[in-house]
């Protein structure tokens, strides 16, 4: 670890997070996206976590098709910074995992437990992202898919595409697309989330038995904010290809840390914590579904929207989260460096658990035991009550951060 003293927090204007996100080219709420997408056909299970289609591929009425796309987002730029500073291409193994898990763990939430076929797309600027780095990305993807199969989760590579698009990206973008054919009787419909359920959170940090190193819990959401608010102006000066020059200077790499600095209250460096590969819950969810089947009333992957993601599922449900995990060090450091309110932090980041299981109270202990058998701490983080949905269909959420009551 570096022995450098921490730089003081920069003296910059701390505008509201929404304004900071917009200035960086990010929509925190994606309201304009949902305004369009929510008007489209919602598939055969409108309340499901992912869109579920009739089985167009084989015409089997007992099956359903699911296709899903996501990626590592701007976390790939963090991998690029690490590589440029250290020469270590293995960082891209984690970026490949990030892209895959952001698809796989969404699919888990509709009961797609394999077989799954995946295709990867890498958009790069070949002047900055060389063949060695590209080879590491491809190797990392194949290695992670092999590990998933070893854990009993069937997933296979269908190839992919590498596009040299230097006019579009300054460094690299890593995305994946997944396809599955699922038995309709196996599907999980989040419309079954109703009052009277307990919410079990599966922690995003620590080290699962199937992981090779401790996880900071960061996932792959909110990394534009985390990257700029945590990392110092050194990166602005040295790596101009990693940011949009149209973003106001005071919002670009305006944090107190270098990648090799120790993360406060942690055994990790800042770079290790920000780059911690997104945990998959595939082995755990597969056993939960195999063991409990229809008694699982819903699954929510707390990705985009963080702890408020649940608001989009169920009808007339009031979500109460009053026993959350203590936010791990990476989120505490981001909040301190950025000045973001805790209410906004919970809207952007998973804050300690990235998968929620909704069940009747009678089987909560069983869910927790199964998760903990994989080395993943789990606990009842809240419950559901009767509520009134808003005009846009979202349900209310009351969340407690310590003694603070946050209402969404």
pLDDT more than 70, % of the chain: 90
Rounded to whole angstroms, the Cα distance separating 27 from 147 reads: 34
- Answer for the pair 110, 48: CB distance below 8 angstroms, yes or no: yes
pTM above 0.95, yes or no: no
Model confidence at 33, in pLDDT bands (50, 70, 90)? Answer: low
**In this structure, what are the phi and psi dihedrals at residue 111, rounded to the nearest 5 degrees?**
90, 15
Kindly state the percentage of the chain with pLDDT values over 90.
88
pLDDT in tens, 231-244: 999 999 999 999 99
pLDDT, tens digit, 9 for 90 and up, residues 180-221: 999 999 999 999 999 999 999 999 999 999 999 999 999 999
pLDDT, average across residues 55-61: 95
Does 19-407 carry CATH code 3.90.650.10? yes
């Amino acid at each position: 670890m570096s022995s450098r003293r921490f730089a003081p927090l920069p003296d910059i204007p701390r505008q509201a997070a929404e304004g900071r996100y917009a200035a960086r080219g990010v929509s925190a709420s994606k309201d304009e996206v949902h305004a369009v997408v929510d008007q489209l056909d919602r598939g055969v299970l409108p309340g499901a976590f992912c869109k579920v289609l009739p089985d167009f591929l084989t015409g089997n009425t007992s099956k359903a098709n699911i296709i899903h796309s996501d990626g590592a987002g701007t976390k790939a730029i963090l991998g690029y910074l690490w590589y440029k500073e250290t020469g270590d291409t293995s960082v891209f193994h984690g970026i490949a995992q990030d892209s895959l898990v952001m698809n796989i763990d969404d699919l888990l939430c509709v009961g797609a437990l394999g077989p799954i076929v995946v295709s990867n797309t890498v958009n790069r600027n070949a002047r900055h992202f060389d063949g060695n780095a590209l080879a590491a990305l491809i190797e990392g993807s194949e290695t992670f898919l092999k590990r998933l199969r070893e854990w009993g989760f069937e997933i296979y590579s269908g190839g992919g595409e590498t596009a040299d698009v230097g006019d579009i990206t300054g460094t690299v973008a890593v995305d994946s697309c997944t396809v599955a054919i699922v038995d309709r009787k196996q599907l999980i419909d989040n419309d079954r989330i109703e009052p009277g359920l307990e919410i079990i959170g599966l922690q995003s940090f620590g080290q699962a038995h199937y992981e090779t190193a401790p996880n900071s819990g960061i996932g792959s959401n909110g990394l534009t904010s985390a990257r700029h608010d945590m990392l110092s102006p050194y990166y602005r000066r040295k790596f101009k290809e990693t940011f949009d020059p149209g973003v106001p200077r005071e919002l670009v790499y305006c944090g107190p840390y270098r990648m090799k600095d120790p993360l406060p209250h942690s055994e990790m460096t800042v770079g290790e914590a920000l780059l911690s590969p997104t945990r998959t819950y595939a082995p755990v969810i597969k056993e939960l579904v195999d063991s409990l089947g229809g008694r699982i009333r819903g699954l929510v992957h707390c990705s985009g929207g963080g702890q408020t993601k649940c608001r989009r599922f169920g009808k007339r449900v009031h979500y109460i989260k009053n026993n959350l995990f203590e936010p791990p060090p990476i989120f505490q450091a981001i909040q301190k460096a950025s000045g973001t309110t805790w209410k906004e932090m919970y809207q952007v980041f998973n804050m300690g658990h990235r998968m929620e299981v909704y069940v009747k109270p009678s089987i909560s202990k069983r869910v927790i035991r199964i998760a903990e058998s994989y080395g993943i701490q789990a606990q009842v983080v809240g419950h559901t009550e009767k509520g009134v949905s808003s005009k846009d269909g979202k349900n209310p959420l009351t969340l407690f951060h310590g003694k603070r009551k946050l209402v969404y």
